[in-house]
Amino acid sequence: MPRSRINGNFIDKTFSIVANILLRIIPTTSGEKKAFTYYRDGMSAQSEGNYAEALHNYYEATRPEIDPYDRSYILYNIGLIHTSNGEHTKALEYYFRALERNPFLPQAFNNMAVICHYRGEQAILQGDSEIAEAWFDQAAEYWKQAIALTPGNYIEAHNWLKITKRFE
C-alpha cells in the first residue's frame, strides 16, 4: 500500500490529496507520475525518520525521473539521509550529483561545507593541522558558493569565513 494511504499525519494526508488531484489534472507522463509518487513517499518516510524506506523510495524515483531539476532534489534528499547516517563520503557523492543537474542548490553547497568543516575538525583532533586546513579551505569554497546563491543566508558560515580570513 502506498505510504500516502497509511500516513496518519493530517498535513501529510492533505498534501497527498492535493498532490493526487494535481497529478490527475496536470498533463504528465506515467513515468513522471510514478517518480513523483515515489518521491512523495520518500519525503514522508524521511520526515518520520524511516531512512531505509525513504532511500528505497528515492532510488525508485530516480528510475523514471528524467527531468534534471526534479532529479536533483531526489539526489539531494538521498545525500541528506547519508549525512544523517554519518555516511559522509556517500553524502558528498549525492550532493555532487545533485549539483551536476542543478547548480543552484545552495543547501547542497552548505551541507558539503558542513561535512568538510567536520572533517577538518576531526583532522585537528588527530593532530594533522595540514589536512585540517585543506578541509577548512574546501568548506570555505562551498560556503562561498552557497552564500553567493543566497546572500543573507548562512550567517554563521559567513561569520566563520570572516573570522578565519577566508572571505574575499
Give the model's confidence band at 76: pLDDT under 50 very low, under 70 low, under 90 confident, else very high: very high
Least confident of 13-22, 33-42, 89-98, 128-137: 13-22
Q: How many helices (H) and strands (E) does the chain have?
A: 9, 0
Give the model's confidence band at 1: pLDDT under 50 very low, under 70 low, under 90 confident, else very high: very low
- Report the C-alpha gap between 5 and 12 in whole angstroms: 10
- Which cell numbers in the block locate residue 139? 568548506
Give the model's confidence band at 54: pLDDT under 50 very low, under 70 low, under 90 confident, else very high: very high
pLDDT (0 to 100) of residue 63 = 94
